[in-house]
């Protein structure tokens, strides 16, 4: 495991332990709860009314009195201004002043050569410990993101799907997802779900991704293929219903059928009140998840912004075909 992966694994384990310690027993301790396979075969009622959750979509936006659904301008979800960051260990600067604004309901795609800073930007946004911000500001839902710890950013509604998802031995997918959802519900002042209440909510999302329910009994990503790990990441996103999903090359390692399943799930999660930031090298992902804006990144900065035609121009003529990118 690389140092970056090891650090990410340590951060994830710490976040899991922290979330577990904050919640009331016995719901979410990392220990066997109720096996999904047992729930599936039990006589427990399948249709369970969930405790109130966050209102989403056009009706919720209208009820809040703002946003596009109420006839007003779309609200800013993420605002990045002149963001600069270095590798903490070496001091090498990788982000040289990134500017990016994402409004609610938008899909943004970032493309660029290897080493242009795409993945670095995503990791800095979620608070990866290998990087240090040296300048600029990042506001998420009007609050400074840089002042929050990684787990606080997650609870605030930020989600990242990693290029290489980490394994968490000893923690089943079911327990992990239940704990993660309840941690966010606690942040929102909502009651925790029990295992039986959680199962029908989770089951519909597993079905949408065409995943075998037996995956819920397995430890998080342990022994999974690359494609299975990517599906599992999107399952986590579907469960948490994050406000901003950062998807770092979710198309890598997926065949056409798997990519279509993942893309359909992601499209189904997009509502007027949330947004998606995708990082990709390939046009094929954008054929399934249509971006509102396409950004080209080069040498740690966004150097060009356009619509889907910019990606098509890039695919046809390479980076030399795009003015300003040599």
Instruction: Write down how long the chain is.
Output: 326
Q: Which domain holds residue 148?
A: 75-321
Name, in order, each residue with C-beta under 8 angstroms of 128's C-beta and a sequence gap of 6 or more.
Answer: 4, 7, 8, 11, 150
Q: Is residue 198 part of a domain?
A: yes
Q: Does a structural domain hold residue 61?
A: no
Residue 150 lies in a domain: yes
Helix axes 226-240, 173-187, angle to 10 degrees: 30
Q: Is residue 94 part of a domain?
A: yes
In angstroms, the CA 93 to CA 306 distance is 26
Per-residue DSSP letter, 141: T
Q: Is residue 308 part of a domain?
A: yes
Q: Are 291 and 311 in contact (CB under 8 A)?
A: yes
Can you say whether residue 257 is alpha, beta or left, with left for phi > 0 and alpha for psi between -120 and 50 degrees? Answer: alpha
CATH number at residue 158: 3.40.50.300
pTM tops 0.85, yes or no:
no
Residue 306 belongs to a domain: yes
Structural domain contains residue 35: no
Residue-level pLDDT, tens digit, the chain, 326 residues? 444 444 444 444 444 444 433 333 333 333 334 445 444 444 333 333 444 444 333 333 333 333 444 456 779 999 999 999 999 999 999 999 999 999 999 999 999 998 999 999 999 999 999 999 999 999 999 999 999 999 999 989 999 987 778 888 999 999 999 999 999 999 889 999 999 999 999 998 998 888 889 889 999 988 888 878 888 888 999 999 899 999 988 887 788 888 888 888 889 888 899 999 999 888 888 989 999 999 999 999 999 999 999 988 888 888 877 755 54
Number of domains the chain contains: 1
Residue 269 located in a structural domain? yes
Quick one: CA dihedral 233, 241, 84, 108, positive or negative?
Answer: positive
Gap between the Cα atoms of 141 and 145, Å rounded: 9
């Amino acid at each position: 495991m690389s140092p970056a992966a090891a650090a990410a694994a340590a951060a994830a384990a710490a976040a899991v332990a922290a979330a577990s310690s904050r919640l009331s027993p016995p719901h979410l301790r990392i220990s066997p709860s109720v096996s999904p396979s047992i729930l599936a075969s039990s006589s427990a009622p399948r249709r369970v009314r969930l405790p109130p959750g966050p209102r989403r979509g056009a009706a919720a936006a209208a009820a809040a009195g703002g946003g596009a659904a109420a006839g007003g301008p779309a609200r800013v979800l993420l605002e990045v201004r002149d963001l600069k960051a270095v590798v903490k260990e070496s001091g090498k600067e990788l982000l040289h002043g990134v500017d990016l604004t994402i409004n609610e309901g938008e899909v943004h795609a970032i493309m660029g050569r290897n080493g242009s800073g795409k993945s670095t930007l995503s990791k800095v946004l979620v608070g990866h410990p290998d990087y240090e911000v040296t300048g600029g500001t990042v506001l998420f839902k009007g609050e400074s993101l840089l002042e929050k710890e990684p787990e606080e950013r997650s609870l605030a509604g930020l989600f990242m799907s990693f290029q290489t998802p980490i394994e968490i031995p000893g923690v089943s997918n079911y327990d992990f997802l239940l704990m993660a959802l309840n941690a966010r519900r606690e942040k929102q002042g909502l009651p925790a779900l029990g295992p039986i209440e959680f199962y029908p909510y989770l089951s519909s999302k597993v079905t949408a991704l065409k995943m075998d329910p037996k995956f819920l009994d397995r430890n998080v990503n342990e022994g999974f293929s690359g494609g299975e790990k990517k599906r599992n990441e999107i399952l986590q996103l579907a469960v948490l219903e994050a406000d901003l999903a950062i998807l770092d090359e979710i198309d890598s390692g997926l065949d056409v059928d798997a990519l279509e399943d993942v893309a359909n799930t992601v499209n189904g999660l997009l509502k007027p009140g949330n947004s998606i930031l995708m990082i990709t090298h390939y046009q094929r992902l954008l054929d399934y998840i249509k971006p509102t804006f396409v950004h080209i990144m080069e040498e740690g900065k966004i150097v060009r912004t356009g619509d889907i035609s910019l990606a098509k121009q890039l695919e046809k003529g390479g980076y030399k075909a795009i003015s300003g990118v040599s």
